[in-house]
C-alpha cells in the first residue's frame, strides 16, 4: 500500500526537551536503512535538523495534514548499534531522544553539514631532499618529525597529539623539507593491511598477561571483562595485544580513556605499535577534526578510535572490541544535559554488537567489583608488575607528633621535609600530591570574622598570590584581593589553609637547587606547558614535582623513589558515601607513580588520624585495594547504598530561589499521591543542594532510592509524565539524574 505513494511517513526525533517524536512526510520511498538519517523539518516555525527514528509509524490522525521533511542523508550513517544504544540511553536516563542525538553527533552533522571530508591537512616528506639540510637541524623535535614522516604522511592534528608544536612543523615547511598535503585522497579501509599491522615487535607477555589475552581473544560473543591489574602491571600491553588480534580479524576497536589520560604518551603507544591508522576524539579537537575522526571510523578508514566519553557514540563499521581504560574514572560520567555513564552505555553497545568489552583499572569501581561478584563480569588479574618493578612501601607520618615548623604551616612536616632532602641529595625524584589549588584555602577578617565568599556561589574564595586574586573554584570568577574588610574596615585579613601555590613556594625556598615543578590547572594551561614540565622531570632537570589530580595518572616517572601525600584527612571524613572509595582509588593511583623503574619506591602519607582503619588497610602490604573495596562493599550492603540499591536525583534550579523550591515542593506533593504504588522506594524531602547557590542559580533536589531497578524506572516514568518538560515555569530547569556519582 505504501509503495503506491510518492512519500513515506516517518517519525522524527527533534532536539527539544520532549519525550516524543513527530511524524512528517518525506517525498521518497524510504526503508529501514533510513532509520538514523537526518532530515530538516519545520518545527514550531523553526527550521531544525532531526533524526528519523521510525518508518511508517502508526498515526492517530490523517496523514495528509503532515508537513514535509527534507532528507539530508541518502542512507543513515548511524549504525544499528549506535542507534540502539541511544534508544536505550534515552529510556534508561530519562532524557529525550532528540537531545541524546544532539549530544552524540559531532557539531557539524548536528547542524546539518555534509557527512564527508573537506580537506585533511597533513605533512609529507618531500622527495629527494638534501641530506646536508637535515644535518644542520639542531631541534630534536624537528628531527623526530622527519623520522616519523618516513613511514608516510601524517595529519597535523595527530602530530599535535604526539606533543609536537605547529611552530616545529612550520620550520620544516620553511626549510623545504616537508610539504602540506591533503590526506583525503588516499581513502582506503584499514583492512587492506591484512596481517601486516604491526610496526614494532611487542614484548613477550608474562603468564598473567598471557592468560588475560587468551581469555579475551577466545571470547566469541559479548562478555564484560574486568582487567584488574595493579599500576604498572602491563594492562596497556594487554590491550595492545588483544587489539592486535581483533584487527587481524578485520574488525575495528574503540578505546575510551579519561580526559586526563590524553597525553602524547598514550597516543604514542598506539601509533608506535600499529601500522593501522588510529583516530582520536577529545576536547582539544576542532569541530572539523572531530568530524574527520568520526568519518574515519564510519567509513572504515581507521581501525582504532581512542577517545573520551562521547567517542562512544561514533559509528564504527565492524566493531570488534571496546576497551575502557581506568574504568573507575569519574570523567566517564557526564554531569549535565544527557547525564549518562559511558561505562554503562559502552557495555550496552558491546552487548548489542555481540563483542567483548574490557574494563581496565588498578582500582576498579565498587560497581564493577560488585558485578564480578554477581557473576556478570569476568575478572582477569595482573598481580605482578611488568618489567620487574616492585610496588612501593607505605609509611604514615603522625602529624600530631610533628613540631609546628614553617614547613608544617605550608603542609610539609619536619619528617617529610627531611625525607625530601635525603632523596634529592641522592639524585632521586620526589612526587608530592595535594589536591588543592591556590595559595591559601580562604581569607577571614581577624576583627569581625567576615569570610570572603563568591558573590555568585555559596563557596569560599581561594587566595591566589601570584595573580593577586580571590578566586571561586566553582564558577571560576575572581576578584582582586582586598586590602580591608568590607564589613568592618579592618586591614587584618588572615589566610587559612594551604594550596599547591603556597607549598611550591616553600619547596623552592627550602630546596633552591633541585628544581620544583608545580603541576596544576593554574600553572599548566596548555598541553605544551605540561609537556615541558614533564620533560624537565624526565631529563632529571627537576627533582621535585608537586601536583593535583593532573599528576595522579597517565604519567610514568621511573626515577621517582618517594611519593608524599600531603593531605589525606579531607578524603577520610566526608558526608559523601563515595568519598572513601575515591580516596582509596586516588591513594593507590598516586602510589603507583613511584618505583616504576629499577629503584624501590616509598609512599609517605601525612595524617592526623594514624589509627584510621581504612588508612591502615590501604598501607598494609597484606591487603590489596580489592580487600579494601570488599570492606567498603560490606558497608554499602548494610546501608543499602549503591550498588545494592538504585538511585536517582530529581534536580531543579532557578535564578529565583522560591521558584525552584516551590517547583520541587509541588512535584513532591504529586509524588506523594503515587508513591505507595511502589514497593521499596524511598524518597527524600526537598533539600537544598550542598552548595545551594551556584552561578547565581539556586539548586534543590530530591533523592530517590529503590531496591529494584525496575521500580526506579517505572517511578521515573511517572515523574516524567508529571513534569511537562516543554512548559516548565519560566527560568526553572529540571533534570532527572540516574545513577548519580556526585551527591548534591
Ligand atoms: P599499566 O597500563 O598497567 O600501568 P603498562 O602496560 O604501561 O602498565 O606497563 C608498564 C611498563 O612495563 C611499560 O613500560 C611496558 O612497556 C612494560 N611492559 C609491559 N608488559 C611487559 C612485558 N610483558 N615485558 C616487558 N615489559 C613490559
Ligand atoms: Zn572585618
Ligand atoms: Zn563562584
User: Residues 556-576: pLDDT tens digits?
Assistant: 788 899 999 999 998 888 889
Q: How confident is the model at residue 598 (pLDDT cuts 50, 70, 90)?
A: low
d(CA 2, CA 117): 35
Q: Are 67 and 23 in contact (CB under 8 A)?
A: no
Where is mean pLDDT largest: 161-175, 438-452, 548-562? Answer: 438-452
User: Residues 720-743: pLDDT tens digits?
Assistant: 999 977 788 999 999 999 999 999
Atom 15 in ligand 1: which residue has the minimum CA distance?
A: 234
Strand order in the sheet with 154-155: 154-155, 121-125, 178-182
Q: Which residues of 488-512 are buried (b: 16+ CB within 10 A; e: fewer)?
A: eeeeebebebbbbbbbbbbbeebbe
Q: Which residue has the cell 625524584?
A: 429
Q: What is the mean pLDDT of the chain?
A: 92
Q: Are 316 and 256 in contact (CB under 8 A)?
A: no
Atom 5 in ligand 1: which residue has the minimum CA distance?
A: 234
Instruction: Give the chain's length.
Output: 744
Cα of 3 vs centre of ligand 1, distance in Å, is 60
User: Residues 511-549: pLDDT tens digits?
Assistant: 999 999 999 989 888 777 887 888 899 899 999 999 998
Q: Are 98 and 128 in contact (CB under 8 A)?
A: no
Least confidently predicted of 264-278, 487-501, 502-516, 594-608: 594-608
Strands (E) in 188-235, as ranges, are: 223-229
Mean pLDDT on 189-196: 74
Report DSSP letters for 602-636, one per residue. Answer: EEEEEES-TT-HHHHHHH-TT--HHHHHHHHHHHH
Torsion of CA 434, 437, 438, 439, to 10 degrees: -10
| 699, pLDDT greater than 60 | yes
Mean pLDDT on 657-661: 96
Q: Which residue has the cell 632523596?
A: 423
Number of Cβ within 10 Å of residue 677's Cβ equals: 11
| 1, pLDDT greater than 50 | no
Q: Of 230, 194, 186, which is closest to residue 389 (Cα–Cα)?
A: 230
Ligand that comes closest to the CA of residue 460: 3
pLDDT score at 596? 64
Bridge partners of residue 650, in order along the sequence: 702, 736
Is it true that the peptide bond before 643 is cis, omega within 30 degrees of 0? yes
Atom 21 in ligand 1: which residue has the minimum CA distance?
A: 386
- The DSSP code for 728 is P
Q: Using the atom order of ligand 1, give the atom closest to the CA of residue 233.
A: 3
Q: How confident is the model at residue 265 (pLDDT cuts 50, 70, 90)?
A: confident
Pocket of ligand 1 (CB under 6 A): 203-206, 209, 229, 231-237, 386-387
Percent of the chain residues past pLDDT 90, beyond the cut: 72
Cα of 452 vs centre of ligand 2, distance in Å, is 10
Atom 9 in ligand 1: which residue has the minimum CA distance?
A: 234
pLDDT score at 594? 74
Q: How confident is the model at residue 2 (pLDDT cuts 50, 70, 90)?
A: very low
d(CA 2, CA 41): 21
Mean pLDDT on 130-145: 86
d(CA 601, CA 394): 9
| 202, pLDDT greater than 50 | yes
| 51, pLDDT greater than 70 | yes
User: Residues 342-394: pLDDT tens digits?
Assistant: 999 999 999 999 999 999 999 999 999 999 999 999 999 999 887 666 778 89
pLDDT score at 601? 86
Which among 200, 237, 257, 358 is the best mutation to test ligand 1's pocket, defined by most ligand atoms within 8 Å of the CB?
237
Atom 10 in ligand 1: which residue has the minimum CA distance?
A: 232
Q: Using the atom order of ligand 1, give the atom closest to the CA of residue 230.
A: 3
Q: Are 411 and 568 in contact (CB under 8 A)?
A: no
Q: How confident is the model at residue 597 (pLDDT cuts 50, 70, 90)?
A: low
- To the nearest 10 degrees (0 to 180), the angle between helices 625-638 and 579-591 is 180
Which among 387, 388, 391, 558 is the best mutation to test ligand 1's pocket, defined by most ligand atoms within 8 Å of the CB?
387
pTM of the prediction?
0.92
Q: Using the atom order of ligand 1, give the atom closest to the CA of residue 229.
A: 3
Q: Which residues of 554-577 are buried (b: 16+ CB within 10 A; e: fewer)?
A: bbebebbbbbbbbbbeebbeeeee
Percent of the chain residues past pLDDT 70, beyond the cut: 97
d(CA 138, CA 204): 36
d(CA 200, CA 246): 17
| 55, pLDDT greater than 70 | yes
Least confidently predicted of 188-192, 275-279, 327-331, 658-662: 188-192
Cα of 362 vs centre of ligand 1, distance in Å, is 13
* First-last CA distance in the chain: 54
Bridge partners of residue 179, in order along the sequence: 124
Amino acid at each position: 500500500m505504501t509503495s503506491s505513494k510518492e512519500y513515506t511517513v516517518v517519525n522524527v526525533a527533534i532536539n527539544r526537551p520532549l519525550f516524543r517524536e513527530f511524524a512528517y512526510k518525506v517525498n521518497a520511498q524510504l526503508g529501514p536503512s533510513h532509520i538514523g538519517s537526518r532530515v530538516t523539518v519545520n518545527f514550531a516555525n523553526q527550521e531544525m535538523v532531526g533524526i528519523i527514528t521510525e518508518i511508517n509509524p502508526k498515526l492517530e490522525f490523517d496523514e495528509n495534514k503532515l508537513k514535509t521533511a527534507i532528507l539530508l542523508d541518502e542512507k543513515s550513517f548511524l549504525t544499528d548499534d549506535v542507534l540502539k544504544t541511544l534508544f536505550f540511553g534515552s529510556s534508561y536516563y530519562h532524557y529525550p531522544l532528540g537531545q541524546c542525538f544532539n549530544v552524540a553527533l559531532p557539531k557539524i552533522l548536528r547542524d546539518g553539514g555534509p557527512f564527508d571530508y573537506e580537506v585533511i591537512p597533513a605533512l609529507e616528506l618531500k622527495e629527494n631532499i638534501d641530506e646536508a639540510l637535515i644535518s644542520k637541524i639542531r631541534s630534536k623535535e624537528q628531527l623526530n618529525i622527519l623520522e616519523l614522516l618516513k613511514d608516510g604522511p601524517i595529519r597535523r592534528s595527530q602530530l599535535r597529539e604526539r606533543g609536537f608544536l605547529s611552530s616545529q612543523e612550520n620550520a620544516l615547511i620553511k626549510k623545504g623539507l616537508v610539504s602540506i598535503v591533503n590526506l583525503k585522497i588516499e581513502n582506503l579501509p584499514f583492512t587492506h593491511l591484512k596481517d601486516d599491522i604491526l610496526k614494532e615487535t611487542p614484548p613477550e607477555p608474562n603468564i598473567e598477561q598471557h592468560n588475560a589475552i587468551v581469555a579475551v581473544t577466545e571470547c566469541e560473543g559479548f562478555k564484560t571483562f574486568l582487567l584488574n591489574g595493579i599500576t604498572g602491571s602491563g594492562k596497556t600491553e594487554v590491550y595492545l595485544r588483544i587489539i592486535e588480534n581483533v584487527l587481524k580479524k578485520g574488525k575495528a576497536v574503540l578505546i575510551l580513556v579519561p580526559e586526563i589520560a590524553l597525553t602524547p604518551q598514550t597516543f604514542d603507544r598506539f601509533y608506535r605499535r600499529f601500522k593501522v591508522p588510529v583516530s582520536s576524539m577529545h576536547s582539544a579537537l576542532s569541530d572539523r577534526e572531530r568530524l574527520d575522526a568520526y568519518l574515519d571510523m564510519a567509513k572504515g578508514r581507521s581501525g582504532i578510535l581512542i577517545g573520551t566519553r562521547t567517542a562512544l557514540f561514533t559509528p564504527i563499521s565492524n566493531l570488534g572490541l571496546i576497551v575502557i581504560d581506568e574504568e573507575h574514572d569519574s570523567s566517564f560520567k557526564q554531569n549535565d544535559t544527557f547525564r549518562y555513564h559511558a561505562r554503562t552505555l559502552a557495555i550496552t553497545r558491546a552487548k548489542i554488537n555481540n563483542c567483548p568489552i574490557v574494563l581496565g583499572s588498578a582500582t576498579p569501581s565498587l560497581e564493577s567489583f560488585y558485578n564480578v561478584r554477581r557473576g556478570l563480569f569476568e575478572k582477569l588479574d595482573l598481580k605482578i608488575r611488568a618489567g620487574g618493578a616492585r610496588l612501593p612501601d607505605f609509611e604514615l607520618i603522625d602529624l600530631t607528633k610533628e613540631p609546628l615548623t614553617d614547613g608544617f604551616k605550608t603542609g610539609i612536616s619536619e619528617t617529610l621535609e627531611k625525607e625530601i632532602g635525603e632523596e634529592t641529595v641522592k639524585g632521586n625524584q620526589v612526587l608530592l600530591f595535594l589536591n588543592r589549588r591556590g595559595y591559601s584555602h580562604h581569607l577571614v577578617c581577624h576583627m569581625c570574622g567576615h569570610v570572603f565568599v563568591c558573590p555568585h556561589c555559596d563557596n569560599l574564595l581561594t587566595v591566589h598570590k601570584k595573580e593577586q586574586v580571590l578566586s571561586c573554584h566553582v564558577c571560576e570568577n575572581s576578584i582582586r584581593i582586598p586590602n580591608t574588610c568590607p564589613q568592618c574596615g579592618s586591614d587584618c585579613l588572615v589566610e587559612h589553609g594551604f594550596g599547591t601555590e603556597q607549598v611550591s613556594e616553600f619547596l623552592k625556598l627550602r630546596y633552591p637547587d633541585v628544581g620544583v615543578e608545580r603541576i596544576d590547572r593554574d600553572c599548566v594551561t596548555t598541553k605544551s606547558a605540561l609537556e615541558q614540565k614533564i620533560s624537565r622531570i624526565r631529563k632529571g632537570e627537576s627533582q621535585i614535582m608537586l601536583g593535583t589530580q593532573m599528576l595522579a595518572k597517565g604519567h610514568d616517572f621511573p626515577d621517582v623513589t618517594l611519593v608524599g601525600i600531603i593531605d589525606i584527612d579531607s578524603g577520610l571524613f566526608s558526608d559523601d558515601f563515595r568519598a572513601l572509595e575515591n580516596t582509596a582509588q586516588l591513594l593507590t593511583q598516586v602510589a603507583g607513580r613511584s618505583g616504576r623503574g629499577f629503584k624501590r619506591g616509598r609512599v609517605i602519607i601525612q595524617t592526623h588520624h594514624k589509627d584510621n582503619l581504612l588508612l591502615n588497610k590501604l598501607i598494609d602490604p597484606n591487603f590489596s585495594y580489592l580487600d579494601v573495596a570488599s570492606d567498603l562493599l560490606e558497608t554499602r550492603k548494610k546501608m543499602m547504598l549503591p550498588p545494592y540499591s538504585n538511585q536517582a536525583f530529581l534536580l531543579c534550579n532557578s535564578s529565583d530561589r522560591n521558584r525552584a523550591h516551590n517547583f520541587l515542593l509541588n512535584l513532591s506533593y504529586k509524588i506523594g499521591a503515587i508513591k505507595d504504588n511502589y514497593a521499596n522506594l524511598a524518597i527524600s524531602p526537598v533539600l537544598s543542594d550542598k552548595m545551594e547557590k551556584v552561578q547565581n542559580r539556586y539548586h534543590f533536589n530530591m533523592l530517590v532510592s529503590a531496591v529494584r531497578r525496575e521500580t526506579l524506572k517505572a517511578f521515573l516514568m511517572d515523574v516524567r509524565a508529571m513534569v511537562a518538560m516543554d512548559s516548565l515555569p519560566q527560568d526553572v530547569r529540571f533534570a532527572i539524574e540516574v545513577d548519580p556519582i556526585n551527591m548534591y
